[in-house]
Amino acid sequence: MAASPRISRALAAIIHPIDRHLLRLSGDRLCLTTIATGLPVRLVTTTGARTGRPRTHPLTTLQDGDRLAVIASNFGGSRFPAWYHNLRARPLARVHLAGRQRLFRARPASAEEHPRWWAMAIELYPGYADYQRRAAPRPIPVMILEPT
């Protein structure tokens, strides 16, 4: 239900500020998205592509060993999320993990890697398939975050 167009638009407007605040208060342990869906959400701080200022976003993450991945779905919107542009322009990001920040270098998943990460994303949250249909023809990139 959360992947439906009407609900996605409403969630996009309100959930990120609430999750950002709750994650900070709870030492990165708790937010509404995780409570409601069980999805792992982490605060990811990027550097603004144009402003050069830090921007912190609560993002659902996938994990494989010490690597993380984030999905640039933007709730199935026609545009890429701002954090995606930021990581493309300035690929260093700080990720909040259990109350600590770690530095990661971001890169787009290669053509060979994308299907594997995308399958992991769909398994974690089937709504990503709905987002892909709505976003078409815009592709939904996967950004891999590797620890520095």
Per-residue pLDDT of the chain (148 residues; tens, 9 = 90+): 555 666 766 776 788 888 988 888 888 888 888 888 889 999 999 999 999 999 999 999 999 999 999 999 998 999 999 999 999 999 999 999 877 899 999 999 999 999 999 999 999 999 999 999 999 999 999 999 999 9
Instruction: Tell how strand 41-47 and strand 100-108 pair up.
Output: unpaired
Query: Structurally, how many domains does the chain consist of?
Result: 1
User: For residues 26 and 23, what is the distance between their CA atoms, to the nearest angstrom?
Assistant: 5
- Look up the domain containing 13 and give its range: 5-147
Supply the CATH number for residue 40's domain. 2.30.110.10
pLDDT score of 22: 86
pTM of the model: 0.86
Strand-pair partners of 102: 95
Let me know how long the chain is. Answer: 148
User: For residues 99 and 97, what is the distance between their CA atoms, to the nearest angstrom?
Assistant: 6
Burial pattern 74-85, b for ≥16 Cβ within 10 A else e, equals bbbbeebbebbb
